[in-house]
Amino acid sequence: MRIQLTMKRTIVLSALLTLSIALPALAQGPSILKPPKGSPLAIVVFEDLQCPMCRQTSPVIEQAARTYKIPLVRYDFPLPLHNWSFEAAVMARYFQKQSKDLGDAFRDYIFQHQLEIYPGNLRTFADKFAADHKTSLPFVVDPQGELAAAVNADRDLGKRVGIDHTPTVYLLSTKPAHPFVEVSKPKDELFQSIDALKRE
């Protein structure tokens, strides 16, 4: 009897320990996000390059970052229902390795042509972008899988934050009272939200 009770306790304790390890891997909320070092305020966006709403809000987000001279941190969050967004994100990472500006320019270019792109012609668009920017795209973009791993890491971070749609936009602040604010309608609310945070 004692052996059975001990075994049951061991099983219960083991299950609780497993759960306590697994829970942090689940959604932890946007409080785990921080502005880049030295920046009191930043815009963070989780985006999918095939997402129509991401295409519409991207220029507004970029304009806000330029206007207020605050960092824009972009995370890839390709959704399963989109059939070329993951590959496009990997390509964006390839250009980003050359320079952040080039990676951002590729993302903008993909958004501009989003309605024309499908899986069979994504590579053609990417090659044209590379040629227009006096660079090249290798036949095998990610031979070691490092770029795909980086995209997956972004998606995993998004899951830990609790992202369930794109775009998801946050303003991150170093102010303890409001470390983050989700901007649910960036086209209508982003500038006002930044003004409100800066006034605090």
| Residue 178: per-residue pLDDT | 82
Query: What angle is formed at CA 92 by the lines to CA 60 and CA 38, rounded to 5 degrees?
Result: 60
Mean pLDDT, the chain cut into blocks of 10 residues (200 residues total): 45 38 57 92 97 97 96 97 98 97 98 98 98 97 98 97 96 88 93 90
List the beta bridge partners of residue 72: 43
What domains appear along the chain, each with residue ranges and CATH number?
Answer: 30-199 (3.40.30.10)
| DSSP H or E stretch at residue 165 | none
Q: What is the pTM of this model?
A: 0.83
| Residue 20: per-residue pLDDT | 37
| Residue 3: per-residue pLDDT | 45
The token pair that represents 72 in the structure block: 């824009």
| Residue 198: per-residue pLDDT | 87
| Residue 26: per-residue pLDDT | 52
Is the separation of the CB atoms in 59 and 192 below 8 Å?
A: no
| Residue 27: per-residue pLDDT | 66
Is the separation of the CB atoms in 160 and 30 below 8 Å?
A: no
| Residue 135: per-residue pLDDT | 97
Q: How far is CA 126 from the centre of its chain?
A: 20
CB atoms within 10 A of CB 137: 17
| Residue 177: per-residue pLDDT | 80
| Residue 31: per-residue pLDDT | 87
Is the separation of the CB atoms in 91 and 126 below 8 Å?
A: yes
